[in-house]
Structure 1
Amino acid sequence: MGGRAAVVGDDVFATPGWAEPVPVLRVERPLPLVIDLDGAGLSPAFVAEAAIRALRGGPSGVLSLLSVALPGRGSFDHAFDRSGAVDPGPGLFDARMLAAATRADAEGREVLILTSAFPALARRLCATTTWADDVILAPRGDDIAELARLAAVRTRCPGGFVAFSGADEGAPWVRAAARQAAEPGLVDAVAPPVRSRSRVWVKAARLHQWTKNLLVFLPLVLAGRAFDGSAWLMAAMGFLAFGLVASATYLLNDLHDLDHDRAHRSKRHRPLASGALSIPAALVGIVSGLGLGLGLAAASGPASLAILSVYLAATLAYTFRIKRVALLDAVTLAGLFTSRLVAGVVFCGVAGSAWLFVLSMFLFTSLALAKRYGEIRHLAPSGAIPGRGYVAEDGPVVLAFGTATAAAAVLMVSLYIVEAATRQAFYVTPEFLWLAPVAVFVWLGRIWLLCGRGTLNDDPVEFAITDGPSLALGLAVLTGFCLACMRF
């Protein structure tokens, strides 16, 4: 079996396992692009998304889901296709497929949709998009069906065609077409490159957000047990447990917010919204993350399991309801951050600090409002943030509360030093602690300045771990606490 590569425009697409070039027949008229809708990663996403929408519709949605599921898997795709339960928005399709279709349309190519399972959806695409021109209906299944599929395409495109299949190795009919490419009737077999699945999962699980879980370690440091190995081990278990559960809830949140994320200026690039991660894979990730995370917490003791369960319940409440309530959403997010501090106390068995908890609520409420204010700034007049309880006119109020809670956070750090830190025996030279309120003031001030200029990243936490000045200010706070514990 020889190797193949296909040239489309200036791009070269290599089919895994093929290395020899496909002879390219140049014609005056651009070859049509044939998109294999059934093989482009649409079928499982389509059915799963339609099922999720039905379940979100309550009892009537469940009955609707059962009505199409009971006849058997053979009619499952067709039943959902006829129901029109899923709008053919861009996030439903493989991003590479959309890119190929858009480019083909710009080049003047005819774009044809090949399908067996989703004729109604294909026709809606032709009616509602600028890039889909016509539908080719052909069977899909065994080798004979795949050859019939190829024959249908060649009949519709006697002068040759460019084929797109979402399968990394190419659909069977595409591979057969590539083998016949040297014969009259050219086929440029466009087999997309293999994706880095690890990168997709890293982004979907938002591993950068695990930096939030470093808060679990803070109580043991402030309690003077920074050199206690057993305490660090328990805190590490808490860190991992919170990370796994948090990643599972992020996936659940993205499933719930698919429509809103697809309409958002930056969230549309998230793996689920863009189609880079399938819904069935996300469901497996959710179950795995919750099971492993809660299992680790249970191994640490009943109290640890209880605090993580409370965190999970609050996160679910936020996902399904609270995030649509203005201001309450910010306070809830701050509470979720503070729960990590409480978890540090519980997992490590150290004494908690009311100062620390109050500081956390003010600090993270300010950061949550900064995120919302940044989104509000990008709204059109009288616009609204999709899936949130904020409109463009809320900007001044959010700005006022955000800067007020930032000032309160700086005040809490200062009061902690005056009222509590000076009474702790492990702070030998507490004067160095004054680096902390200065650094917190400068950092929060920088956050809100960038918000006002409209240049802050959507996520202040992600911004903080990639921004040089933010990291330097964090190091200054850490240095101050270390120096405060040293005798000179």
Structure 2
Amino acid sequence: MQTPSPDDCPLYVDLDGSLTPSDTLHESVMLFLRQHPGNLLRMIGWLPRGKAGFKRALADAVVPEPEGLPWREDFVAFLRAEHARGRTLVLASAADRRIVQRVADHFGFFSDVLGTSDGQHNLSRANKREAIAAHARANGHERWAYAGNSADDLPVWEGSAQAIAVNTPAGVLRTLRARQPVAHTFEHRSPSLKTLLRAIRLKQWSKNGLIFLPLLAAHSLDPVLWGQVIVAFVAFGLCASATYLVNDLLDLPNDRVHRIKRLRPLAAGTVRIATAVPLGLGMIAVAFALAVWVGWPFTAMLALYTTLTLGYSMRWKRIALFDVLLLATLYTLRIGAGALATRVDLSNWLLAISIFLFLSLALVKRCAELEEAVDSDKAPAPGRGYQPRDLPSLRAMGMSSGFMAVMVLALYIDSPNSRALYHQPDLLWAAAPVLLLWIMRVWLKTGRRELHGEDPLAFALKDPFSWATLAVMIGIGLLATVGL
């Protein structure tokens, strides 16, 4: 009897890290936490059952939808071509069998599946090799091929007639090649530094520039205070980046169906959940270590910000109107944190202007999302509490709030506080129409669908008019300080 070529042997395909760059176990954990943060305690209670028992209990609660997962498209194209030429494909994974079956049904080119099913034996390493060999023999095949990605797959490759390496780290690939030839290699894609910086949303650190406002408003040039506020800025940036990671982890299903957010590193699968979690924990630890150095009042403010942000990510962003009030509060807390870091008295005028201005910008963001949904004739962004018919009300609230910010600025100009700080406070009147013009322009562009669902900050950072507005406002402030 002629021995079949390795290219004609049935091909057993790994799921986690190979077919998908993500891990369905990690995806399931995030889905379960998204339902309720208290589910963390339930998962801890399942740990004594072992890995197989944990997977079974978790799959009883949640199963990720294949349509919402990222896939290794070049490898999927290869599998489609193999199936088209008549090769038998079997999806073999250590994931719960129900998840594996759902993925196989999604693609339609797998003839069978192997997965962890009894809650006792995790289908990984030697267990997987034995299960594949038994399955192949039961179907009349003595030889089989295997496509995998990690060190756990080395024992499986040892029993195969053909090895295919998908997204395999360099060290594992060297070990594999030292043991047997590799028929096909799909390159390992480690996240670059640029990708990691995108994942932690480094651009959003510009929001934390609000921490400097109390010191600027007090016209202080004390180098010690400026040193403290710079450290506070870094601490707040690290903490905010960590909470952005949490938000993106919990919002993966929604982000992956969003026109813009699906390109975020976590949603696209270019940064794995297993990378994001320790990265976020590390940033939180460093942030609070720096915060303690700055001072306990600042540390308490950072803890409050973290708590509110996590509450927003897990639950509160789904509550209409409360979500935008909370976003405005989070912006304003940055100003309060700057005052606590430098022990500068916080102006009530500054707080009032900030809360109205940031409420307007938060409503810009929600209106831009709804405008995009209406324009594309799609349902509003999932995970939000708004409907297209809310647009007129939200526009009215947002524009009114922006105008209120300008009105408070006008009242401040004629106040005793202004006259105590500025040599010629009357020059500040020039700032009112400049700010008013910028607010009206942002709302006009929102109504024209020119923000394309973007965060107003992201829009402002690449908008020359916004930069010119900022430069003019700074110039007016300097002139009012030193006088003509």
User: Aligning the two structures, in what range does the TM-score lie when normalised by the shorter sequence?
Assistant: 0.7 to 0.9
Match of 1:87 in 2: 64
Per the normalisation by structure 2, the TM-score is 0.79
Q: How do 1:229-308 residues align onto structure 2 when only pairs under 5 Å count?
A: 229-308=223-302
The size of the alignment, in residue pairs, is 447
Match of 1:439 among 424, 431, 434: 434
Distance 1:216 1:407, change over 3 A: same
Give the aligned residue type for 2:302.
L
Q: How do 1:44-59 residues align onto structure 2 when only pairs under 5 Å count?
A: 45-55=23-33
Q: How do 1:24-103 residues align onto structure 2 when only pairs under 5 Å count?
A: 35-40=13-18, 45-55=23-33, 61=39, 65=43, 69-73=47-51, 75=52, 79=56, 83=60, 85-93=62-70, 95=71, 97-98=72-73, 100-101=75-76
Give CA deviations for 1:331-373 in whole Å, capped at 9, x if unaligned. 1111111111111111112121111111101111111101100
Please say if 1:141 is aligned against 2:125.
yes
Q: Is the 8 Å Cα contact of residues 261 and 273 (structure 1) preserved in structure 2?
A: yes
Distance 1:135 1:353, change over 3 A: same
SS at match of 1:235: helix
Match of 2:92 among 111, 115, 118: 115
Q: Is the 8 Å Cα contact of residues 36 and 165 (structure 1) preserved in structure 2?
A: no
User: After alignment, is 104-113 or 334-343 more displaced?
Assistant: 104-113
Give the aligned residue type for 1:415.
L
Matches of 1:136 and 1:285, distance apart in 2: 34
Match of 2:379 among 367, 383, 395: 383
Matches of 1:231 and 1:450, distance apart in 2: 39
Distance 1:62 1:234, change over 3 A: closer
Matches of 2:73 and 2:142, distance apart in 1: 23
SS at match of 1:115: strand
- Unaligned stretches of 5+ residues in structure 2: 1-6, 116-122, 147-160
SS at match of 2:49: coil
Give CA deviations for 1:367-409 in whole Å, capped at 9, x if unaligned. 1101100111122569343111111111111111111111112
Distance 1:358 1:39, change over 3 A: closer
Give the aligned residue type for 1:412.
V
Matches of 2:405 and 2:382, distance apart in 1: 29
Give CA deviations for 1:87-113 in whole Å, capped at 9, x if unaligned. 2435534x5x03542586499857945
Match of 1:398 among 394, 398, 405: 394
- Unaligned stretches of 5+ residues in structure 1: 1-26, 182-186
Q: Is the 8 Å Cα contact of residues 205 and 248 (structure 1) preserved in structure 2?
A: yes
Give CA deviations for 1:17-76 in whole Å, capped at 9, x if unaligned. xxxxxxxxxx9x9x9997532442859732223234445556995686367532323x25
SS at match of 2:185: strand
Cα RMSD (Å): 3.9
Match of 1:414 in 2: 410
Report the CA distance between 1:142 and its aligned residue: 6.5
Give the aligned residue type for 2:242.
A
Match of 1:365 in 2: 359
Matches of 1:345 and 1:61, distance apart in 2: 37
Matches of 1:398 and 1:201, distance apart in 2: 35
Report the CA distance between 1:242 and its aligned residue: 1.2
Distance 1:141 1:351, change over 3 A: same
Q: Is the 8 Å Cα contact of residues 199 and 266 (structure 2) preserved in structure 1?
A: yes
